[in-house]
Amino acid sequence: MRTTSDLREVIERACASTGVPGMVIGILTPDGREVVTHGVASLETGCPVRRDTLFQIGSISKVYLATLAMRLVEEGKLTLDTPVASVLPELELADREAQQAITLWHLLTHTSGIEGDRFDDYGYGDDALARYVAGLASARQIHPPGQHWSYCNSGFSLAGRLIEVVTGRSFEAAMRELIFGPLGLERSCFLVQDVLGYPFAVGHRTDEHGHVGVVRDFALPRSVHPAGGVWATIDDLLDFAAFHLGLRPVAAPPISWDSITMMQAPQVAAANWADWYGLGWAIWSIGSVRVIGHGGSTNGYQAHLVLLPEERVAIASLTNHEQGSSAYLEVETWLLTERFGIRPPAPRLCTVSERELQRYAGTYTYPLARLTVRAVTGGLWLEAVQTRGLSREARERPLPPLFLRPIGERVFATGPVRAVPNRVDFIFDGDSEHPRWVRAFGRLAERDAIQEY
Coil, strand or helix at 94: coil
Q: How many CB atoms lie within 10 A of CB 138?
A: 12
* Amino acid sitting at position 128: A
3-state helix, strand, coil in the chain (%, to 5): 30, 25, 45
What is the SS3 assignment for 309? coil
CB 19 within 8 A of CB 302: no
Q: Which one of 5, 42, 59, 86 is the catalytic residue?
A: 59
CA angle 92, 279, 235 (to 5 degrees): 115
| The residue type at 107 | L
> If residue 318 lies in a helix (H) or strand (E), which one and from where to where?
strand 313-319
The closest alpha carbon to 207, from 61, 432, 398, belongs to 398
* CA atoms of 27 and 66, how far apart (whole Å): 23
3-state DSSP assignment of residue 371: strand
CA dist list (Å): 129 to 194, 250, 409:
19, 31, 42
Annotation marks residue 150 as catalytic: no
Catalytic center residues: 59
